[in-house]
Amino acid sequence: MKKFTISYFVIFLAGIFALSSCGGLDKMKKAADQVKYEATPKVLELKGNTVEVSFKATFPAKFFNKKAILEMTPVLVYNNQELPLEKGIVQGEKVEGNNKSIKYVEGGSYSWPSKAASFEYKDDMRVSQVVIRPSVYIAGKEAAKLALPPVKVADGIIATQKLVKIDAKPITMEDKFVRTTSDKYESQILYVINRSDVRPSEVKKPEIAGLNDYIKSTKDNPSKQLKGIEILAYASPDGPMDLNDKLSKARQKSASEYLQKELKKAKISEADKKELWSLMATPEDWEGFKALMEKSDIKDKELVLRVLSMYSDPNVREKEIKNMAKTFEEIAQKILPQLRRSRMIAKVDVVGRSDEEIMSTFQSNPSALSLEELLYAGGKLTNDLATKQAIFEKAVEMFPNCFRAHNNLGCVYLWQNKLDLAQKEFEAAQALKESDQVKSNLGYVALLKGDYATAENLFTSVARNVEVANYGLGIINITKGDYETAVKFLGNTPEFNTALAKALNKDNEGAMAVLNNVKGDEALVAYLKAVLGARMDNSEVVFNNLRVAVAKDPSMKKMAATDMEFGKFLTNDVFKSIVQ
C-alpha cells in the first residue's frame, strides 16, 4: 500500500510541474497580442534585384516566461506561395543559450537580422504580405512547441523601378552632302612684252576653248549657275612702274572685251550684268614672280628669293636682281614672259539633285548616287525604317570601307530590334575606324540583350561628351537600384527615365517637373504622375492621370489595381471604377 502511495505522489508532482509549464506558455499565448511586431519598411519596395526588410519585436513587462524560448519566423506570403525569411529567437532570463534574453519583470525588445534580410524579387510577389509566425516552448522541450497567433507586419511590394524603359539611343553619323557646290575654271592669255593686244594664237589654245565651253555649259542648265567671272591682269616686275600700271589695265580691258564678246556670241544672258564681273589689275606681279622662282631650276634662285625677303621696295628689288646679270638674263627668258598675262576665272555653282530626284534615282538607279547622297537620303529623306534599311544596305554594298554607312545601317537594325545584325554592323564600323559613338551604339546592343555588365563597360569607356552614353548608364543604375547615381547621369533631360530616377530617389517634385516636359510615352508619363500624386496624397492628380494612362494603355488597369504605390486608394470607389 505504501509503494502505491509513493507512485501516486510522483505522478502528482509530475502533473503539477507539467501544468505549471503549460500554464506559463498559456499565459504568453493569452497575452500574445500585447507583443508589438514591426517591419521596416511597412511597405516593401524593390531596389535593384532585391527587396530588403528588417524586423523588431517589443515585449511588455511580466510577459516572458523565464524558461521559455520564442522563435519568430517572418514569411512572405504571395500568390499561394510562401518564402520564409530569417527568424529571430529570444529566450527567458533563466535559459542558458546565446539568444537575446528578455527579462520577465522589465520586458524588452529585439531587432533582427543584424543586416536587413534580402530576397530576390519575382513578379509574382507584387501582391504580397509579410507575417510573423511566433512559436514558443520551454527550453529542452521543443517537441511541445506552442504556436502563437501570426501577425501581419508589412505589405508588398512596390516595384516602381520596373517602369524603367530599356530603350536605345543610337548615334547616326552625319552625311557630308552639299546640294550646291562651288566650281571654277581658269585659263590665261599671255602677252608680248609691253603689249596688251590679244593675239589670235592665244585664243586658239585648248585652255581658252575649254573656258568658253565651261561657261556655255551653264546656259539653260538648272544644275549649273554662272556666279562670277574674274579678270586678273598683270605686268611683269621689270620696267618703269607707270608703264606697268598702264599695261596691266590695258591687258585687263582687252581680256574682258574678248570674253564678253564670246559670251554674247554664245547668248549667255548674264554677260551684260556688271555684278557678274570682277576686274583687277596688278602693275608688278611680285607674288607671281616669287611663286615661279620657287618652282624653277634657275641656279641662283635662292639668292633671288633672299632679295625678295630682304627688300619690300619694288625698285630696290628690281635693281638688286638686275645686278645679277647672268641670272637676270635667265629670268627674263624663263620667268618674266609667264607674268605678262590676264587670268580669266569663271565661277559656277553646281546644283545637285533635289530631294525628290535623289529618292527617285534610288528607286530607278541607286548606283548613280554618291556616298553622301545615300547617307543623306537614308538619314534625312525618310522615316520609314524599311526604306532606311534598303538605302544604308546599298551604301554598305557600294562603299564597304565607309564606317559611317556600316554604323547607320546598324542603327536601323537596332531600331528594328535586330540586335545581332546591329552588332555585326557596329563591329564592322569600329574595325574601320575607332569611334566613341560606335562604342556607345555597341553599348546599347548589349543593354537590349540584357548584358548590363558589358553595356556598362562600353558606356563608361567613351568620352563624357557622348551624352547618350550617359542615358544608357542612367538606365543601368536604375536597374541596379543606385538611384542617386542614375539621377547624376540623366541630369534634367526631358526623358521618362529621368523622371523615374528622380521619383525613385524620392524627389517627387523634380520628377513631376521633368514629366511635364516629356514628349511621347503618354501612358507611362500619366501613370508615373498618378504615382507621384498618390505620394503627395493628391487624389485629383491620381484619378485624372490614371484615367489618361488606362485610356492610352488598358493593361495599366491591372497594374494600378495591384500597385502598392496606390495603397491608400485601393478601396476608394473612384479609384476602383478607373481600374476595374
CA angle 453–456–458, rounded 5-degree value: 110
Check whether 3 has a pLDDT greater than 70. Answer: no
Q: For residue range 373-409, what is the model confidence (pLDDT) as tens digits?
A: 999 999 999 999 999 999 999 999 999 999 999 999 9
**CATH number, domain 394-579, options 1.25.40.10, 1.10.150.670, 3.20.20.60, 3.40.50.300:** 1.25.40.10
Q: For residue range 519-564, what is the model confidence (pLDDT) as tens digits?
A: 988 999 999 999 999 999 999 999 999 999 999 999 999 999 999 9
Check whether 6 has a pLDDT greater than 50. Answer: no
β partners of residue 230: 278, 345
d(CA 430, CA 406): 9
Query: Hunting for cell 516595384 — which residue is that?
Result: 159
What CATH number is given for 180-351 in this structure?
3.30.1330.60
pLDDT, mean of residues 452-464: 94
- For 338, list phi and psi in degrees, rounded to 5: -75, -15
Task: Note the pLDDT of residue 239.
Answer: 84
Matching CATH topology for 2-158 and 394-579? Answer: no
- Of 109-118, 267-276, 540-549, which gets the smallest average pLDDT? 267-276
Check whether 282 has a pLDDT greater than 60. Answer: yes
Positive or negative: CA dihedral 194, 200, 201, 204: positive
d(CA 550, CA 192): 90
Check whether 322 has a pLDDT greater than 90. Answer: no
Task: Give the domain ranges of the chain.
Answer: 2-158, 180-351, 394-579
Question: Measuring CA to CA, which residue among 521, 503, 504 is closest to residue 512?
Answer: 503
Question: Measuring CA to CA, which residue among 85, 82, 90, 44 is closest to residue 63?
Answer: 90
Q: For residue range 116-154, what is the model confidence (pLDDT) as tens digits?
A: 999 999 999 999 999 999 999 999 999 999 999 999 999
Check whether 15 has a pLDDT greater than 90. Answer: no
Q: For residue range 477-532, what is the model confidence (pLDDT) as tens digits?
A: 999 999 999 999 999 999 999 999 999 999 999 999 999 999 988 999 999 999 99
Percent of the chain past pLDDT 70, that is, above it, reads 96
pLDDT, mean of residues 436-464: 96
Residues written for the chain? 580
Task: Note the pLDDT of residue 380.
Answer: 98
What burial letters (b/e) apply to 497-517, b meaning 16+ CB within 10 Å?
Answer: bbbbbbbbbebeebbbebbee
- pLDDT averaged over every residue in the chain: 93
- Of 12-21, 328-337, 354-363, which gets the smallest average pLDDT? 12-21
**Which amino acid does the sequence have at 210?**
G
Check whether 357 has a pLDDT greater than 70. Answer: yes
d(CA 509, CA 286): 73
Q: For residue range 37-62, what is the model confidence (pLDDT) as tens digits?
A: 999 999 999 999 999 999 999 999 99
CATH topology of domain 2-158: Immunoglobulin-like (2.60.40)
Task: Note the pLDDT of residue 324.
Answer: 86
d(CA 444, CA 422): 10
d(CA 165, CA 534): 22
Provide long-range contacts, Cβ within 8 A and 24+ apart, for 429-433: 429/403, 429/404, 430/403, 432/401, 432/402, 432/403, 432/406, 433/403
- For 90, list phi and psi in degrees, rounded to 5: -130, 160
d(CA 546, CA 525): 10
Q: Which of the two residues, 327 and 21, has the higher pLDDT score?
A: 327
Q: What pTM, to 2 d.p., does this model score?
A: 0.79
Question: Measuring CA to CA, which residue among 499, 443, 436, 450 is closest to residue 473?
Answer: 443
d(CA 284, CA 104): 117
d(CA 74, CA 84): 6
Read out DSSP for 415-426?
HTT-HHHHHHHH
- For 382, list phi and psi in degrees, rounded to 5: -155, 145
